[in-house]
A and B are shown apart, each in its own frame.
Chain A
Amino acid sequence: MAKTLFDKIWEKHVVKQIEGGPFVLYIDKHFIHEVTSPQAFAGLNKRGIKVFRPALTVATADHNVPTIDQHLPIREELSRRQVEALKKNCAEHGVELYGLGHPFQGIVHVIGPELGITQPGITIVCGDSHTSTHGAFGAIAFGIGTSEVEMVLATQCLLQTKPKVMRINVDGQLQEGVVSKDIILYIISQISASGATGYFVEYAGSAIRSLSMEARMTICNMSIEMGARGGMIAPDETTFNYLKGREFSPQDAQWEEKLAEWRQLYSDGNAIFDKEIFINAADIEPMITYGTNPGMGVGVTGHVPSLSEVNEKEKASFEKSLNYMGLQPGANMKGRKVDYVFIGSCTNSRIEDLRMVAGFVKGKKKASDVEVWVVPGSKQVEKQAIEEGIDKIFEQAGFQLRQPGCSACLGMNEDKIPAGKYCISTSNRNFEGRQGPNARTFLASPLTAAAAAITGEICDVREMLSSEKESVLAGDQNYN
């Protein structure tokens, strides 16, 4: 029988099915971090048991860490205690920890792939909803709660009901200035913040195939923002090239063996999906969100829906959302002033994101009344950026390059956006208070965020790109 990619991987990991109930699913790789693991370890200790397969769990500190002066002790006491608890728990249970100061430290969803721990065909979980990121390699990867973290630590298994499978096909050519973040913001705006609840999503189509691994990760990362359990992309040469030679990738003969296995990982031609969606890549504009969930997005040249465009049942939450954002129904998005620019988070803090931003801002300066933070996703990204001289470009542009962590993505560590201020952010959530109490978030791509950093307002990066091209053609020496 024809099978989907999801089915192929799922079936290989089912230990058994409970009669009239869920499946017992075996987990190959488990990532943990300081915020959602302490209660799980406490649970194990209470039961008097040890981690079952410590070699299959990897830990890092990311959510709570400061992004400046990381060599100093964490100032905030509760954050420090969580990070210390992680250290102690990992030591007691024999779990590898890439904590502060370690060359592999970083946001959990950035380090897994860059170290080659994330591989095709495996099951991956983490006590964090953006675990879906790892699905970009053709893995089944999803976020879990703390009780489930405890289950995986204790037994390397989880009880799961089998989700339905949806395929989202994006075909055709993207416009210049439109990048993978725009694809996913567009998809979510089309199907809503709950449109994929109950599903696992496979992304396919020529536009997806042509993306780099890092761009694919951005897409899978935000699957959860439409309610999906996870997202995945079938592995191909792009995937294999990315993985080859990484720290924990298979080596030599084992590599060849794995490669043969990985090449079988695709949805069969006539596999049936529970739902299928088709999107034309050329229809996608650079996107921006106006509201307080990631589904509330429009093209940058678009406007906030007017009251007549919103269906009756959603009016109340729509108005509540606009009220929070300080926006009027029907208002234009272009030209709207921003106070902060945040380039970072597990959605867009990889080296390609930083390169994209650096390539765009080289030789330009940020608007004087805008604060710009660039936060690399990991120590390795930071190191690479410095080696490539990207740090210098940011310095000249007036952008602040900070140290790795989740930073202003979630208003939990020291990096918060002040109340009432507008932040254009490359992260994944624009909820009320997400970046700090009463902070207002516009989600966008790194390119659109960088453009806003320069002009101080939401603008159409396509116009800037094309006017630059003209000035280059005219031999304008200011552009280099």
Chain B
Amino acid sequence: MGKSFNKIKSTVVPLNIENVDTDQIIPARFLKATSREGFGKNLFRDWRYNNDDENQPKQDFVLNDATYSGKVLVGAKNFGCSSSREHAAWAIKDAGFDVVVSSFFADIFKSNSLNNFLLPVQVSEEFLKKIFDAVQKDPKTEIEVNLEQQSIKITARGEQESFDISTYKKTCLLNGYDDIDYLLSIKPEIQEFETLKK
């Protein structure tokens, strides 16, 4: 998936539900693939369809509502909690999102996202509310995320906030390389550590 990342300007899909767990993002029965692709169609499967039937979409669920679209998924507090399944990050990415915004992310979800070039942007409760309000008033509201500057902005209103990311992770994302590339490059040091440890 190695793909670099810097700026994004996009409309958003708002999902104002707290404690969204990874079992909702992608239910266990859809984890049976042995590749990383194709999980997007089962994203929020049980919230999207009645009786698990693709011909019966739940009209009131935001992913089925043509009013909203874009590369930014805006969730509420404690997004991505519980199961460590990376399939959750794969599904969101596969469904076309590059950024997830929330006021609080679960730890494993956050690192899984970063490992898949899906940027988790953690904002304050107040800023999150501003986004939801803006999108409710105008579904075409655009958000700009600038990784280099670590900023997120509601374009039309000019309101913005900065977000945290480790310097290391930022460099990885900007340059399109991942943790495993780095770890492989320090293998001699790892071997040395093993010898010392024994």
A161 to B187, CA, bound (A): 20
Knowing A145-B115, A429-B82, A434-B23, the reply to whether A21 touches B167 (Cβ < 8 A) is: yes
- With both beta carbons as reference points, the residue of chain A lying nearest to B192 in the complex is identified as A15
Q: Which residues of B contact A63 (CB under 8 A)?
A: 28
Q: Which residues of A contact B52 (CB under 8 A)?
A: 437
Question: Is B162 located at the chain interface by the 8 A CB criterion?
Answer: no
- With both beta carbons as reference points, the residue of chain B lying nearest to A44 in the complex is identified as B180
- With both beta carbons as reference points, the residue of chain A lying nearest to B196 in the complex is identified as A15
User: How many residue pairs at the A-B interface have CB separations less than 8 Å?
Assistant: 179
Q: Which residues of B contact A15 (CB under 8 A)?
A: 186, 189-190, 193
Report B11 CB to chain A, min CB distance, Å: 23
Q: Which residues of A contact B187 (CB under 8 A)?
A: 52, 155
Q: Which residues of B contact A78 (CB under 8 A)?
A: 32-33
- Residues B180 and A151 in contact, CB atoms below 8 Å apart: yes
Question: Is A227 located at the chain interface by the 8 A CB criterion?
Answer: yes
- With both beta carbons as reference points, the residue of chain A lying nearest to B185 in the complex is identified as A155
Contact with B along A409-453 (1 / 0, CB 8 A): 011100000000000000001011110011000000000000000
Question: Is A225 located at the chain interface by the 8 A CB criterion?
Answer: yes
Knowing A78-B32, A410-B28, the reply to whether A147 touches B180 (Cβ < 8 A) is: yes
Q: Interface residue count for B (Cβ, 8 Å)?
A: 54
Contact of B107 among A22, A35, A39, A229 (CB under 8 A): A229
A327 to B86, CA, bound (A): 32
Contact with B along A140-162 (1 / 0, CB 8 A): 00011111101100111111010
Report A350 CB to chain B, min CB distance, Å: 21
- Residues A81 and B190 in contact, CB atoms below 8 Å apart: no
Question: Is A20 located at the chain interface by the 8 A CB criterion?
Answer: yes
Report A136 CB to chain B, min CB distance, Å: 19
Contact with A along B162-177 (1 / 0, CB 8 A): 0000111100000000
Report A419 CB to chain B, min CB distance, Å: 8
- Residues A156 and B190 in contact, CB atoms below 8 Å apart: yes
- Residues A81 and B78 in contact, CB atoms below 8 Å apart: no
Contact of B84 among A16, A145, A193, A194 (CB under 8 A): A145
Question: Is A166 located at the chain interface by the 8 A CB criterion?
Answer: no
A–B pairs, 24, beta carbons within 8 Å: A15-B186, A19-B167, A21-B166, A24-B190, A36-B85, A63-B28, A129-B82, A145-B84, A145-B108, A147-B112, A147-B115, A147-B178, A147-B180, A151-B179, A159-B179, A194-B104, A197-B106, A229-B107, A314-B18, A410-B23, A411-B27, A412-B32, A433-B24, A433-B27
Chain A to chain B: the 7 pairs with minimum beta-carbon distance, closest first? A21-B168, A145-B86, A20-B167, A78-B32, A38-B34, A412-B28, A145-B112
Give the B-binding residues of A (Cβ under 8 A). Answer: 12, 15-16, 18-22, 24, 26, 35-36, 38-39, 42-43, 47, 49, 52, 63-64, 78-79, 81-82, 85, 127-129, 143-148, 150-151, 154-159, 161, 163, 193-194, 197-198, 224-225, 227, 229, 293, 314, 316-317, 320, 410-412, 429, 431-434, 437-438
Give the A-binding residues of B (Cβ under 8 A). Answer: 16-19, 21, 23-24, 27-29, 31-36, 46, 51-52, 77-78, 81-87, 89, 104, 106-108, 111-112, 115-116, 166-169, 178-180, 182-184, 186-187, 189-190, 193-194, 197
